[in-house]
A = this chain, B = another copy of it.
């Protein structure tokens, strides 16, 4: 029943193309569905007051999103929860509950699943989230994890992707490209190990980027900081697929352009040096690496004074008119259209 007169390969659309294609004709029927597909999380309102419910979901597939030859199951459990919480924070909300489903083959023992689960519960503990449901089933091959996070937001404080305005400042939290370089180190050591299993992995001096890859954190602290600074970004998204891809999402949905300054992109020295060792351009790692789980947001210029002395914020550009497009202004002063060459799940075959 898979035959069809026409056959369009999924790889020709890519993940975002596929989602857009499938969801383009969806019409919202329930008044409680404030915001559906198209942001970090859906927004639902069941309350009489000022609170709305935020819902987001992610699926992680063995061999596509993670490689158990070097990812400990506990770390995987932790990370799989954190990446979902990150989407709730990216709405300027607070995650409160998660549901966890997994499919696993008989290759896994109870002890190994306990490790995975322990990592999930560790993340729940750290972020004050309750695990309230889930499903467990068998799989014929690898491990598949699906997590849904549910959170709470103030109706007037939820921040969407489609509300950036011309002349807003483009900002990012933390630093970028680290998780990608951590992955490169792990992939290198895996290759070395395959050649000669007696050689010990060489991970010295790579603590920071390995942690960025194996045990990322969601930026709850940034949401608290917005609260403390009494400010609300004009738009926000989390950086899961690489800076370039996320900026293009913001610009596309907000119908604006932007100028991103290469020299402003925050990159940790360990990320920078490791990229150089691998003959990679550190800027490209930040633009296309992904999995940093930092927050990318725009703010009104009137809020600049509030953020300028915050060490965790970096102003990396500004929002322009849509006709100008989204551009990268390089260190040498050139300007190039920003391209998303990021991690694309559907091309990873």
Binding site for B on A (CB under 8 A): 1-2, 4, 6-13, 15, 18-19, 21-23, 26, 28-30, 32-33, 35-37, 41-42, 44, 46-49, 51-53, 55-65, 68-73, 96-97, 99, 101-104, 106-114, 117, 121, 128-142, 144, 146, 148, 150, 152, 345-346, 348-349
Contact = CB atoms under 8 A, between A and B. Distances in A.
A4 B140 contact: no
Contacts of A10: 104, 106, 108-110, 113, 138
From DSSP, what is the main secondary structure of chain A's interface residues? mixed
Nearest to A152: B46
Nearest to A65: B137
B32 A138 contact: no
A13 B106 CA distance: 12
Please provide the 6 A-B residue pairs with the shortest distance between their CB atoms, ordered closest to farther: A42-B132, A146-B146, A8-B110, A47-B47, A36-B132, A59-B101
Q: Copies per complex?
A: 2
A97 B139 contact: no
B61 A113 contact: no
Contacts of A101: 57-59, 146
A107 to B, nearest CB: 7
A6 B111 CA distance: 7
Given A47-B51, A137-B346, 14 more contacts: A4-B112, A11-B106, A30-B130, A36-B130, A46-B53, A48-B49, A55-B133, A57-B101, A57-B135, A59-B102, A59-B103, A106-B349, A137-B345, A150-B150
Contact of A137 (B64, B111, B112): B64
Contacts of A2: 68, 73, 107-109, 112
29 contacts: A1-B70, A2-B108, A8-B110, A10-B113, A11-B106, A15-B137, A18-B110, A18-B113, A32-B152, A36-B133, A37-B131, A42-B97, A44-B96, A46-B47, A46-B51, A47-B51, A55-B97, A55-B148, A57-B133, A57-B148, A64-B103, A64-B139, A65-B137, A99-B148, A101-B146, A138-B349, A141-B142, A148-B148, A150-B150
A238 to B, nearest CB: 14
A62 B140 CA distance: 8
A42 B148 CA distance: 12
Contact of A46 (B46, B99, B111, B117): B46
